[in-house]
Amino acid sequence: QVQLAESGGGLVQPGGSLTLSCAASARTSSRFYMAWFRQAPGKEREFVAAINWSSRATYYTESVKGRFTISRDNAKNTVNLQMNSLRPEDTGIYSCAADSTIILSSIRDARQYDYWGQGTQVTVSS
């Protein structure tokens, strides 16, 4: 069982920055992936970014490439999502997810993740 705890959401103006953090209670295998998803009002949950804990390989949805950076802090068992140049369309509830058996081809599919955090609100507005 893995427990996830997110922090760092809030209100920011367009063009601003925020950093989200997700602390995991455990990591169970070399295939351990952690990811961020977001859900805007009235829309389906969408993949934002993921990282393989062992290889540090990172993956992003096209709309955030060059603006968001996912990274991991091994000592703190934490994954961070640095979000720069934020846009109003980045608004939503950001949720951290983790799984130890997921395969690379499925990391963008929310249904494949067994563990989820409670979510944190990110609002980009002037």
Alpha helices in 1-126 (DSSP H): none
Q: Give me the mean pLDDT over the 112-119 stretch.
A: 95
Q: What is the DSSP letter of 105?
A: G
pLDDT of residue 30: 61
pLDDT of residue 76: 86
The 10 Å CB-count burial string (b at 16+, else e) for 1-34 is ebebebebbeebeeeeebebbbbbeebeeeebbb
Tell me the residue type at 104. L
- Rg, C-alpha atoms of the chain: 13
Torsion angle, alpha carbons of 96, 122, 61, 26, to 10 = -10
Q: Mean pLDDT score of the chain, rounded to an integer?
A: 93
Per-residue pLDDT tens for 40-83? 989 999 999 999 988 889 999 999 999 999 999 888 889 999 99
Strand partners, 95: 37
Q: What angle do CA 2, 81, 60 make, to 5 degrees?
A: 95
